[in-house]
Amino acid sequence: MIKSASKIEEDLDSSRQELPDRIKYLYSSNEMSSSKAQAPLTASVLDESLSSCEDYPSTPVDEKEKPAYDQENCDPSINAITDSVQENVPEKREPMEERQGMEILFGEDISNGKELLWLPNDTNKVFHTNTGIIGTMGTGKTQFTKSIITQLYRDQAHNFDGSPLGILIFDYKGDYNESKEDFIVATNAKVLKPYHLPFNPLALTKAKVFKPLLPIHTANAFKDTLSKVYGLGAKQQNTLFSCITQAYTAKGIKAGDPSTWGNIPPTFDMVYNIYLNDEEIKKTDSLAAAMEKLHQFEVFEGDPTKTLSLFDLLKGVVVVDLSGYDSDIQNLIVAITLDLFYSQMQASGSSKMDHQYRQLTKLILVDEADNFMSEEFPALKKILKEGREFGVGTILSTQFLKHFGTSDDDYAKYILTWVVHNVADA
């Protein structure tokens, strides 16, 4: 049964009380159908955190009468991203000097018909950009998410300082890959496969604040990540750690000598070869299985000169297409990417700010994020917690509120903007 917006609002009362200082925004999908011809985006604002904007006329929502893509009004409804886009230049709604900060159209306020805008640069409205989207299957989460990304991409000229944005999407279901050509064209997205991934988990990222023994820390982090995904025991962990440190040594990188840390780092292939050629290592355990699998699937680029730092790679929209891969490979890639993301985020320094406007730098987006969240990647909570200062935000979409956790230190605690479609458990 489809609930009315007022019923959902009522149902959400309890969760609203639990989340007193968050943006409470009700995104009603009660008129949704599979027909593109209807389903206007309707919404009620439950507090002031999102602005209705007088400047933008509320668009008639009869899609039949609409031109393909209305640049003036930047309607995020389905046509805005499914119709072809003539050029990949981010579009502006009005001259730069007249508007500070990006404006993302979330929908329409059903109480007064005005457009509902999300202002991610304006810290008076949105203190940080961590966002949760919930709604049962088929309520338009993916469509909404694609609309947000497309709008962010198009409006990045209004980012603080006009800084370009990097948007990283972990795509578990193949909703954002080449099979969705309209999205790829609209956002000029780059799709990476878990094959020869062009970033190196063993690359050394120098932090703003000097960290002694950086190669040891990096080796240790990679070892921890592999160990968690493949459930390695203490002895296997030692073996792996030793292979990684030998690989650094082979590249002339000495843990105690920072002047050597700029050398070309080893790749996973090198670690694998050291492992393989060490006759003292028994190769019948879960470490062997893990090493073999990563080697067979050629997950990481073997040529270090073809790798970039993750942040250098992360320009524009970058999709890591995980669809169709075993969950261990998916988890490993996500864990490693988040580890790299976290260390590079810290190394990048604080994002710029002027008055209430903060520069947005990178965003991480995960649709169908239930497995992603239940894996408890250590870097994820740190990114959610500390990202704001670096202009980093995370958008997580899933079917149930409970996926955001129920404990004190759950994900929900770090989410400020909520977009609630028709839900079963709120």
Ligand X SMILES: Nc1ncnc2c1ncn2[C@@H]1O[C@H](COP(=O)(O)OP(=O)(O)O)[C@@H](O)[C@H]1O
Residue closer to ligand X by CB (options 174, 378) is 174
Residue closer to ligand X by CB (options 14, 38) is 38
| Binding at 41: pick from ligand X, Mg ion, none (beta carbon under 5-8 Å per type) | ligand X
Backbone angles phi, psi at 320, to 5 degrees: -100, 105
Residue closer to Mg ion by CB (options 122, 175) is 175
The least distance separating Mg ion from the CB of residue 365, rounded to whole angstroms, comes to 12
The least distance separating ligand X from the CB of residue 63, rounded to whole angstroms, comes to 8
Considering only CA atoms, give the Rg of the chain: 23
Q: Which residues bind Mg ion (CB under 5 A)?
A: 141-142
| Alpha helix segments (H runs only) across 83-134 | none
| Binding at 78: pick from ligand X, Mg ion, none (beta carbon under 5-8 Å per type) | ligand X
User: Terminal CA-to-CA distance of the chain, rounded, Å?
Assistant: 15
What is the DSSP secondary-structure string of 293-348? HHHHTT-B-S-GGG-B-HHHH-SEEEEEE-TTS-HHHHHHHHHHHHHHHHHHHHHH
Residue closer to ligand X by CB (options 1, 37) is 37
Residue whose CB is nearest to Mg ion in the complex, by number: 142
| Binding at 39: pick from Mg ion, ligand X, none (beta carbon under 5-8 Å per type) | ligand X
The least distance separating Mg ion from the CB of residue 375, rounded to whole angstroms, comes to 19
| Binding at 398: pick from Mg ion, ligand X, none (beta carbon under 5-8 Å per type) | none
Q: Which residues bind ligand X (CB under 6 A)?
A: 32, 34, 36, 39, 41, 77-78, 135, 137-143
| Binding at 166: pick from ligand X, Mg ion, none (beta carbon under 5-8 Å per type) | none
Residue closer to ligand X by CB (options 108, 122) is 108
The least distance separating ligand X from the CB of residue 140, rounded to whole angstroms, comes to 3
CA 234 to chain CA centroid, Å, is 32
- Closest to 372 (Cα-Cα) out of 361, 381, 363, 362: 381
105 contacts 75 by C-beta, under 8 angstroms? yes
For residue 189, what are the CA distances in angstroms to 186, 320, 421?
8, 10, 26
Residue closer to ligand X by CB (options 268, 418) is 418
| Binding at 417: pick from ligand X, Mg ion, none (beta carbon under 5-8 Å per type) | none
Beta strands in 92-227 (DSSP E): 104-108, 115-118, 131-134, 166-171, 190-192
The least distance separating Mg ion from the CB of residue 145, rounded to whole angstroms, comes to 8
Residue whose entry in the numeric block shows the structure tokens 């995370």: 394
The least distance separating ligand X from the CB of residue 78, rounded to whole angstroms, comes to 4
| Binding at 392: pick from Mg ion, ligand X, none (beta carbon under 5-8 Å per type) | none
Residue closer to Mg ion by CB (options 379, 423) is 423
| Binding at 143: pick from Mg ion, ligand X, none (beta carbon under 5-8 Å per type) | ligand X
3 contacts 27 by C-beta, under 8 angstroms? no
Q: Whole-angstrom Cα distance, residue 315 to residue 322?
A: 19
| Binding at 137: pick from ligand X, Mg ion, none (beta carbon under 5-8 Å per type) | ligand X
Residue closer to ligand X by CB (options 106, 160) is 106
The least distance separating ligand X from the CB of residue 55, rounded to whole angstroms, comes to 23
Q: Whole-angstrom Cα distance, residue 16 to residue 122?
A: 23
Q: Whole-angstrom Cα distance, residue 168 to residue 261?
A: 27
Residue closer to ligand X by CB (options 102, 133) is 133
The enclosing H or E element of 386 equals helix 378-386
Contacts of 185 (CB under 8 A, 6+ apart): 84, 85, 88
The least distance separating ligand X from the CB of residue 366, rounded to whole angstroms, comes to 13
The least distance separating ligand X from the CB of residue 402, rounded to whole angstroms, comes to 17
Contacts of 401 (CB under 8 A, 6+ apart): 15, 134, 412, 423, 425, 426
